[in-house]
Amino acid sequence: MRDFDYIRPATIPDAIAAAAEPGSAYLAGGTNLLDLMKGGITSPERIVDISRLPELNRIERLDDGGLRIGALVRNADLAYDPAFAKSYPAVAEALLSGASAQLRNAATVGGNLLQRTRCSYFYDTASACNRREPGAGCDALDGENRLHAVLGWSDACIATHPSDFCVPLVALDAVVEIEGKKGRRHVTLEEFHRLPGETPQRENALEPGDLIVAVRLPAEAASFSANARYLKVRERTSYAFAVVSAAAALVVDGGKIRAARLALGGVAAKPWRARTAEAVLLGADASEATFANAADAALADASPSGDNAFKIELARRIVVRALISALSGTPERLPALPASPFSNIPGARHDA
Amino acid sequence: MTSLPITLTINGHRHELEVDPRVTLLDLLRERLDLTGTKKGCDRGQCGACTVLVDGKRINSCLALAVSHDGAQVLTIEGVAHGEELHPVQAAFIAHDGFQCGFCTPGQIMSTLGLIAEAQAGDDPERIREGLSGNICRCAAYGGIVEAVLEAQQQLVKADRRTAA
């Protein structure tokens, strides 16, 4: 690991001033940053440790019925907060389907949004990667790419965003609260992450020094609590990134869909909000036929970026199944294997 | 970069240390303090061999900078037993053959202590397996590990009841 200066500012303005200097990186839980530093994928000259900044580790109900989650709230603390899990069950399920218990105890809300892709060519410094080194090329294009993007990719980059947490968040209209040199601003999570285009190195809306201070959920997000699920296909039962995942949330009245939210994970460089599918669902019968139409709409623009055409059909089926799960109702208690497609089978063993 | 002063309480003992900011908690334990019970497996947060409790919570010590945990309470495998008397989790791992080569075992035991303290898994083997999925055992002693966790948890609940009574 390259040498770096370590500073631990006492206030948010001090942190922003320090991090605005070139070569700086914020450190919170460190679960992704240290991994990247050990691999030489990123080599900050200055680490700005924000893990003790005051007031960023709170979960607050807002007067307008929304929720404000401090950027330093740990993944496990959020997922196991009973009031949070009751109001936003798909978000809790997504959190608990990600990483391991040890990582969830360290990883933070803000850090989850900022985690880097797990594309193996991004991680391998001997490979060409436009995201790591702009203009270098993309070895994933002709490489092992069965897990790469099927939506929103470009010839410059076909990597996916690895977060589970962000998938239900983007479906529920989450907003990122950012403090920077020019003050505080709000950016919707949908606009926060960027598609690669010709500049895959520009991954999000942050400017130098910008600090995520909170993630907000609007009041309406809790209205889906009775019918909201996250479903995630992995290459092993637990502790693996999504091949494809989906967050589905419905409000159903008299067999008709009164409100619908749908987002996909593992398919693009950002958590993918499927708005055209939501339009198909709205006002339609809550039936499998409707869900299949919605799935077709969600994947209408998908195309393989390599040996991954299977992910398009897989995503369709995951969308349908996530919607069926949401329709059948949020379970009283999260299943033993959160978000697993195997956990609906009573008494079955899923690890053999 | 010059070294920075930190204080850590490790297994009940206070240590005042000067550390290079690049040093992970794992390397500090093993290389500086000779607490080599905590193992370095992958060193990238994927195997769980380096699991310790920091302020009561299990984390991967390989992905924690020591300077960032200044002031923390750390519990490692060396601090689990009471003198010569094994902790119930340690005893249960032996009783149920919860290991073969033993390399992952300190991490498995520390992770089990975290799992029991979190109280989310109960006595459901599926929830225990899921809760320990961050600890890989390449000898695949998983069957014995789950039995050990179930028994240790029962022993600890009984002990709690005795204390309460």
- Would the CB atoms of B129 and A351 count as touching at under 8 Å? yes
ipTM: 0.97
Domain boundary among the residues B32, B47, B79 is at B79
The 10s digit of each residue's pLDDT in A208-247 is 999 999 999 999 999 999 999 999 999 999 999 999 999 9
Domain boundary among the residues B60, B79, B98 is at B79
**Hey, of B43, B65, B111, which one would you mutate to test binding to chain A, going by the most A CBs within 10 A of its CB?**
B65
Burial of A187 (0-12, 13-18, 19+ CB in 10 A): middle
pLDDT of residue A343: 66
Q: In this structure, are B8 and B67 located in the same domain?
A: yes
Q: In this structure, are B35 and B93 located in the same domain?
A: no
- In this structure, the number of other CB atoms found within 10 A of the CB of residue A309 comes to 14
pLDDT of residue A344: 56
pLDDT of residue A265: 98
Q: In this structure, are B96 and B143 located in the same domain?
A: yes
Q: In which band, very low, low, confident or very high, does the pLDDT at B163 lie, cut at 50, 70 and 90? A: confident
A5-52 CATH pick, 3.30.300.20, 3.20.10.10, 3.30.1550.10, 3.30.43.10: 3.30.43.10
- Cα–Cα distance measured from residue A84 to residue A222, given in angstroms and rounded to the nearest whole number: 9
| Domain ranges across chain A | 5-52, 225-328
**Size of chain A in residues:** 352
The 10s digit of each residue's pLDDT in B64-111 is 999 999 999 999 999 999 999 999 999 999 999 999 999 999 999 999
Domain CATH number, residue B93: 1.10.150.120
Q: In this structure, are B95 and B157 located in the same domain?
A: yes
**Hey, of B1, B6, B22, B52, which one would you mutate to test binding to chain A, going by the most A CBs within 10 A of its CB?**
B22
Residues of chain A scoring pLDDT < 50: 350-352
Q: In this structure, are B114 and B143 located in the same domain?
A: yes
Domain CATH number, residue B29: 3.10.20.30
pLDDT of residue A352: 39
Identify which of A144, A127, A152, A119 has the alpha carbon closest to the alpha carbon of residue A307: A144
Q: B120 to chain A: which residues are within 8 Å by CB?
A: 80
Cα distance from A344 to chain B (closest Cα, Å)? 13
The 10s digit of each residue's pLDDT in A130-187 is 999 999 999 999 999 999 999 999 999 999 999 999 999 999 999 999 999 999 999 9
- Cα–Cα distance measured from residue A229 to residue A220, given in angstroms and rounded to the nearest whole number: 16
Domain count, chain B: 2
pLDDT of residue A350: 47
- Would the CB atoms of B43 and A100 count as touching at under 8 Å? no
Domain that holds residue B125: 88-164
Domain boundary among the residues B48, B79, B110 is at B79
Q: In this structure, are B95 and B69 located in the same domain?
A: no
Smallest CA–CA distance from B119 into chain A, residue: A80
Paired with A49 in beta bridges are: A27
- Would the CB atoms of B4 and A3 count as touching at under 8 Å? no
Percent of chain B with pLDDT over 90: 93
Q: In this structure, are B75 and B127 located in the same domain?
A: no
Q: In this structure, are B107 and B132 located in the same domain?
A: yes
Smallest CA–CA distance from A343 into chain B, residue: B126
Q: In this structure, are B110 and B148 located in the same domain?
A: yes
**Cross-chain CB nearest to A100 (options B1, B124, B134):** B134
SS (H, E, C) chain A: CCCCEEECCCCHHHHHHHHCCCCEEEECCCCCHHHHHHCCCCCCCEEEECCCCCCCCCEEECCCCCEEEECCCEHHHHHCCHHHHHHCHHHHHHHHCCCCHHHHHHCEHHHHHHCCCCCHHHHCCCCCECCCCCCCCECCCCCCCCCCCCCCCECCECCCCCCCCHHHHHHCCCEEEEEECCEEEEEEHHHHECCCCCCCCCCECCCCCCEEEEEEECHHHHHHCCCEEEEEECCCCCCCCCCEEEEEEEEEECCEEEEEEEEEECCCCCCEECHHHHHHHCCCECCHHHHHHHHHHHCCCCCCCCCCCHHHHHHHHHHHHHHHHHHHCCCCCCCCCCCCCCCCCCCCCCCC
- Give the angle subtended at the CA of A242 by the CAs of B51 and B57, to the nearest 5°: 20
Domain A225-328 has CATH 3.30.390.50: yes
Q: In this structure, are B50 and B98 located in the same domain?
A: no
